[in-house]
Copies of this chain bind each other. A is one copy, B any other.
Amino acid sequence: MAGPIPIIGGTGALGAGLARRWAKAGTPIVLGSRSAERAEEAAARVREDVPGAEVEGLLNEEATQRAEIVFLTVPFRAQSENLNNLREALRPGQILVDCTVPLAAAVSGKATRSLGVWQGSAAQQAQEMVPEGVTVVSALHTVGAPTLADLDAELGEDILVCGDRKADKARVAGLIELVPGLRAVNAGPLEMSRIVEQLTPMLISVNVRYKAHAGIRLTGLPDGDHWA
């Protein structure tokens, strides 16, 4: 795939962390925000942290049109609003990678608890809301934003990827694995996201207890390219 990687909600913690990792790997990035000014400010911060980074800041709607695969990294409380706003911007054939986790913190509850989502998961809610012909893949729930943003921290963890078509997941996996130390694992159909999204509150619970930034790694998988 040619072109940059658009990150919608790129001014948030997860988006900012991903942007730094991809930029460091030499991948062009477009950070999207509801405010063009804040998008450009966030892009400037990435350029400051990663010399030579190719990063642009744009309105979400514009960022969405820059590539076929678009990452949505907003908090759960803003997911529906963002998907509504992107209805005119998304085109059939695009893949929306939903990274949303329905933490109870979205409604002033605990970050170690989650909300029930009517459709089963945030990713399934996204699939219901995107225009016809747009496919949702879910990923990147378990990698911590602080760990991503700290470019000195060595990564060595898995990203569980859910989606209904393996070919779509493989394309997303290719982008995820541009970041050294991240391995994308095929966790199953999109409905499996209702389990994968739950890993985040569990990891937050572990992080509190261990004063750590825990990630997930699956043991026992065969070596080599899982996506070939």
B206 touches A188 (CB 8 A): yes
**CB of A218 closer than 8 Å to a CB of B:** yes
A220 touches B147 (CB 8 A): yes
A222 touches B202 (CB 8 A): no
Q: Of B186, B198, B217, which is within 8 A of A218 by CB?
A: B217
B214 touches A215 (CB 8 A): no
B217 touches A112 (CB 8 A): no
Q: Would you call the interface of chain A mostly helix, strand, loop, or mixed?
A: mixed
**CB of A175 closer than 8 Å to a CB of B:** no
B221 touches A218 (CB 8 A): no
**CB of A108 closer than 8 Å to a CB of B:** no
Contacts of A203 in B (CB 8 A): 218
B215 touches A216 (CB 8 A): no
A210 touches B192 (CB 8 A): no
Within 8 A of B (CB), among A87-140: 112-114
Contacts of A205 in B (CB 8 A): 187-189, 192
Q: Using A187-B202, A206-B186, A206-B188 as known contacts, say yes or no to A221 and B226 having CB atoms under 8 A apart.
A: no
